[in-house]
Chain A
Amino acid sequence: MLDALLLQAGYNAALVAIGAALLGFAAGASGTFMFLRKRALVSDAVAHATLPGVGLAFIVMVSLGGDGRNLAGLLLGSAVTAWIGLLVIEWMTRRTRLAEDAAIGAVLGVFFGIGIVLLTVVQTMSAGRQAGLESFLLGSTAGMLLQDAVVIAVGGSLAVLATWLMRRPMTLVAFDSEYAAAAGYDVRRIDLLMMALVMAITVIGLKLVGLILIVALLIIPPVAARFWSERAGRVIWIAGGVGGAAGYLGAAMSASAPALPTGPIIVLVAAAIFVLSLLFAPVRGVLAALLRHRRFQRRVHRRQGLLALAAHHPIREAYTLRLLAREGLVRPDGVPTEAGRAQAAKVARDERRWEVAREIHQDAGLTGRYDGLTPIEEVFTPDEIAEFDRRLGPPVAVGAR
């Protein structure tokens, strides 16, 4: 395992790990554009549409007398049908009233069906070397030749390069296509380019993760990355990092044990990163939201408790009482301490200051920020607060009457 992680588990395994990392990086980065464009599942259709190309390429290569398993030839074939599938989706959504999801589902099911038909044709062909075409469904690094690993590594680097070169127009279109159109970009062409990139990544990843799971590499890293940043530019690189890490770790892990298929492991590593992001990301994560909620709840309870102290009302809410007791503002029996009385007086006075503030400032700009929780010092300057205090008169101690 450690050997594999440090690229010491053989030349092929090292190449596969590097190739997977590059592929994951490219897939994550370019998948971000599709995700931000809300078309994540287009990649699913593209991936399934590669299957007939694999079958066709095999049939053509064998009938021309060549070796049907030439990886470059198979990938070329798969790219052709994937491209046709993309154009069909684009044509259907543009020319008919079917929604994009119907077009995606139709292309996915039909192309995959044709692919399966072609695979059964291939199985009955006399050439006995067709074994292994099925490995394109789920990917397989077993029996991978050195040249296959080179194809993946080179293809992955090219895809990363293309993503980097095209990042600006694609970000613009993904984020605000109407603005892009107004700024003079050809949105349709950039969309097609985006999809071409996705298609290229699908094709490169066929051998490694298989056509059913390559979709995961295009969708999961961007979704995970979205939790960590609100800026499109950063999401792209974070998604690339997530995809690259998943590819590298997954490939290394699967090289370390026999019964760990590469594709599923890579996907599961990516999914684990996604779950961690969902739970623990700052701001957008579930845990952060939970903490935010708790903090808010605490502030509301604390303030209500102090107002009750100031008004000499008994506090019956157990949570409020616990909160104030923990801060040493009340004794366990609910009687306010010295510090508690001081705090209560401050809160009550701030409340009266707000009342004065609302009389003076009729506009909602400043007083609209009154939500009962924002400290008045954050909204008004000390001079203004001094003015409110002048109108209010001197402070009154709580309990002094």
Chain B
Amino acid sequence: MGPEFVQFSLTPILIGIFASVACALPGNFLILRRQALIGDAISHVVLPGIVVAFLVTGVVAAIPMLLGAAAAAVVAVVLIEAVKRLGSIEPGAAMGVVFTTMFAAGVLILEQTDTSDVHLDVQHALMGNLETLVWFRATGWESLLDPAALATVPDELPRMAVVCALLVACTVVFWRWLKIATFDEGFARALGIPASAVGFGLVIAAAVAAVTAFDAVGSIIVIAMFVCPPAAARLMTNRLAHQVWWSVGFATLSAVLGYVFAGYGPLWFGAENAVSAAGMIAAVSGAILGLACLFGPHRSRVGVGRQEAP
């Protein structure tokens, strides 16, 4: 845990944790609403969003791309709803139609434009570049108190931290609304809670988390973190508050362990090069979910006895 750790590992780990938690928080409610795959859809349409933003502005800058990605996410949500209503098609298929089409359009536009001199490609979008988000100016733990050094932390860190804090704040502020609207929409309406607005807001929050996290860590983490930690948490408890805490814990654990395994794991096996941290974080979250499926105290359906369960 010397200066090298601060320089090379501290910021990626922190970004990983913030990204994971930011995705896991809305994921809890999406899972309970059976909308877990919204995260999947959003992370696919982010690509056309950033490609179009690049075409419009001509620069690879964070803010226009985030805006483009967010706009694409909103367009996708609206289109999914339109296909669902106009064609009376079930939600899963409507989602599949919209996000694959938008993704294909993104790839096509990307191939058609000359992006050879800028860092913009599909692989980057998928895998992120967590490993490269190092803090060069750091000289050790004392840099944390040094304003000059602090000013040079990668932009992704404060951005991710702000979004994560925002989502935490939203979860706390709208806790009662979210809880009631998720479990019983009719009851929520009767209480005067704007249930459909809560539902739409949740999707928007998920999109914000996905888009910001995607910029820093790629879309694999986004998809995995929307589903795995909340799903694992769901198998641990029957109380929503506890579930959210569990999911935050699982998300943090996945981020830390995943980064460590990716960075140091290959060394233990005698290999020289690190493997993808984003992929490893997703894999660790999957391992946690697997353990929860096997041993979680609340893993089976209510009312299904052990013998009955096939």
Given the interface pairs A109-B227, A223-B89, the reply to whether A124 lies near B279 with Cβ below 8 Å is no
Q: Provide a sorted-by-A list of 10 A–B residue pairs whose CB atoms are within 8 angstroms.
A: A40-B90, A94-B309, A95-B293, A106-B231, A109-B40, A111-B286, A113-B278, A114-B282, A226-B87, A286-B87
Query: B108 and A278: CB pair below 8 A?
Result: no
Number of interface residues of B (CB under 8 A): 71
Interface pair A110/B40, CB less than 8 Å apart: no
- Which secondary structure characterizes the binding site on chain B? helix
A105 at the B interface (CB under 8 A): yes
Segment 35-69 of B: residues with Cβ below 8 Å from A = 35-37, 39-40, 44
A117, B275: Cβ atoms closer than 8 Å:
yes
The reply on B155 being an interface residue by CB < 8 A is: no
Q: A331 contacts the other chain (Cβ, under 8 Å)?
A: no
Q: Report if A161 contacts B (CB, 8 A).
A: no
Determine if A41 is an interface residue (Cβ-Cβ < 8 Å). yes
Grouping DSSP codes into helix (H, G, I), strand (E, B) and loop, the A interface class, with mixed when no group exceeds half, is: helix
Measured CA separation A114–B223 after assembly (Å): 13
Contacts of A219-275 to chain B: CB distance below 8 A: 219-220, 222-223, 226-227, 259-261, 263-265, 267-268, 271, 274
Complex CA gap A203/B95 in Å reads 22
Looking at the assembled complex, report how far the CB atom of A280 sits from the nearest CB atom of chain B, in whole angstroms.
12
Whether B39 lies near A105 (C-beta < 8 A) is: yes
Alpha-carbon separation in the docked complex, A138 to B100 (Å): 12
Interface string of A212-223 (1 = CB under 8 A from B): 110110011011
List, in ascending order, chain B residues with CB within 8 A of A223's CB: 87, 89, 93-94, 96-97
Q: Are B40 and A44 in contact (CB under 8 A)?
A: yes
Q: Which residue of B lies closest to A266 (CB)?
A: B104
B interface, CB within 8 angstroms of A: 31, 34-37, 39-40, 44, 83, 86-90, 92-97, 100-101, 103-105, 107-108, 111-112, 122-123, 126-127, 220-221, 223-228, 230-231, 234-235, 262, 266, 271-276, 278-283, 285-286, 289, 293, 296, 298-302, 309-310
- Give 7 nearest A-B pairs by CB, closest first: A113-B282, A110-B286, A109-B224, A116-B279, A216-B100, A105-B227, A267-B104
Which of A6-14, A96-104, A143-151 participates in binding chain B? Answer: A96-104
B-side contacts of A292, CB under 8 Å: none
The docked-state distance in angstroms from the alpha carbon of A113 to that of B90 is: 28
- Given A97-B235, A106-B228, A108-B223, A137–B37 Cβ distance below 8 Å? no
The distance from the CB of A115 to the nearest CB of chain B, in whole angstroms, is: 7
A180-215 interface mask toward B, CB cutoff 8 Å, 1 = contact, 0 = none? 000000000000000000000000000000001101
A41, B283: Cβ atoms under 8 Å? no
Point out the residues of chain B lying under 8 angstroms from A110, CB to CB: 224, 228, 282-283, 285-286, 289
Bound complex: CA A40 to CA B293 (Å): 24
Least CB distance, A46 to chain B, in whole angstroms:
12
A216 near B87 with CB under 8 A, answer no
Report the bound CA distance from A105 to B31 in whole Å: 10
A350 at the interface (CB under 8 A from B): no
Q: Is the CB of B100 within 8 A of A112?
A: no
Provide the residues of chain A in CB contact with B122, threshold 8 Å: 137-138
Q: How far is the CB of A176 from chain B (nearest CB, A)?
A: 16
Chain A: how many interface residues by the 8 Å CB criterion? 59
Q: Chain A 108-143 against B: per-residue CB contact (8 Å), 1 yes, 0 no?
A: 111111111101110010000000001001100000
Known interface pairs A223-B94, A259-B111, A268-B105; 17 further A-B residue pairs with C-beta atoms within 8 A, sorted by A's residue number: A41-B93, A96-B296, A105-B37, A106-B228, A109-B225, A115-B279, A117-B275, A119-B279, A137-B123, A212-B44, A213-B103, A216-B101, A219-B93, A220-B97, A220-B100, A226-B89, A264-B105
Q: Which residues of A contact B101 (CB under 8 A)?
A: 216, 220, 267-268, 271, 274
In the complex, chain A residues whose CB is within 8 Å of the CB of B88: 284
**Complex: A335 Cα to B266 Cα, angstroms:** 92
Q: Are A124 and B273 in contact (CB under 8 A)?
A: yes
Is there contact, CB below 8 Å, between B220 and A92?
Answer: no
Q: Taking the nearest CB of chain A, how far is it from the CB of B250, in angstroms?
A: 12
Q: Are B87 and A261 in contact (CB under 8 A)?
A: no
Asked if B228 contacts A109 (CB within 8 A), the reply is yes
Q: Tell yes or no: A39 within 8 A of B by CB.
A: yes
Q: Does A369 belong to the interface (CB within 8 Å)? A: no
A278 to B293, CA, bound (A): 41
Nearest B residue (CB) for A220: B97
Q: Is the CB of B231 within 8 A of A216?
A: no
Question: For residue A263, which residues in chain B have a CB less than 8 angstroms away from its CB?
Answer: 104, 107
B100 close to A219 (CB less than 8 A): yes
Within 8 A of B (CB), among A160-181: none
Whether B302 lies near A106 (C-beta < 8 A) is: no
- Bound Cα distance A284, B88 (Å): 9
Which residues of A sit under 8 angstroms from B299, Cβ to Cβ?
95-97
B89 near A102: Cβ-Cβ < 8 Å: no
Query: Would you call A35 an interface residue if the criterion is a C-beta within 8 Å of the partner chain's C-beta atoms?
Result: yes
Indicate if the CB atoms of A113 and B231 lie closer than 8 Å: no
Distance in angstroms from A211 CB to nearest chain B CB is 11
Contacting pair B40 A96 (CB below 8 A)? no
Measured in the bound complex, the distance between the Cα atoms of B97 and A40 in whole Å is 10
